[in-house]
Amino acid sequence: MGLDYVDAMLMHWPCDSTEDNLATWRVLESLVFDGRARAIGVSNFNTSALDALMPHVKVKPAINQCGFSIAGHSGIPYRNQTWGRDDATLARCKELGITYMAYSPLGGWALGGTSRVLHDPEVESIAAGHNRTTAAVALRWVVQQGAAIVTSSDKESHDLDDIHSVFNFSLTGTEMKQLAAIR
């Protein structure tokens, strides 16, 4: 890549065994020790994968990046795993001091995908009540739970709207519960 270091390097998926996870983690730790990575983390680790890793780490994961959204946080298994896309993993990351970062926060992993979330009548109603887009409401729901988000679009106007609007309002406790109930 032509860089002296990277800001963050993630182990993208859990391996097939705890031993393989640990071996891979040791390589990532060596990047920190050598100054080639400022932070290291995991992606798609559920609570059991995190709990198996944590007793053996010398460098705690800074991030656990998982698909997480309205309608995509109930731990619906994919290949018999939740891959960290559940409320329990979010809570466990908070307990461990690991930043939980949501990818596909607009619903890419949810049943029905992004369109399902952005066109859900409940999401539309809440968005109208705040004079926001459904995307802003979906992103706010994730952020308001203490998760970081990573998203993208092919339209600069969408990116700017997301940046400028997601932090300028709050959802009520009732709205948070309504959105969490969407499946």
The 10s digit of each residue's pLDDT in 34-90 is 999 999 999 999 999 999 999 999 999 999 999 889 988 765 544 445 566 678 899
Q: How many CB atoms lie within 10 A of CB 76?
A: 14
What's the CA gap between 62 and 59, in Å, rounded? 9
Predicted pLDDT of residue 115: 84
The 10s digit of each residue's pLDDT in 80-108 is 455 666 788 999 999 999 999 999 899 88
Number of Cα atoms under 13 Å in the Cβ half of residue 126: 28
Can you list the domains of the chain with their CATH numbers?
Answer: 6-180 (3.20.20.100)
Predicted pLDDT of residue 76: 52
The closest of 18, 68, 23 to 44, measured between CA atoms, is 68
Predicted pLDDT of residue 114: 83
Q: How many CB atoms lie within 10 A of CB 24?
A: 17
Q: Is the pLDDT of residue 142 over 80?
A: yes
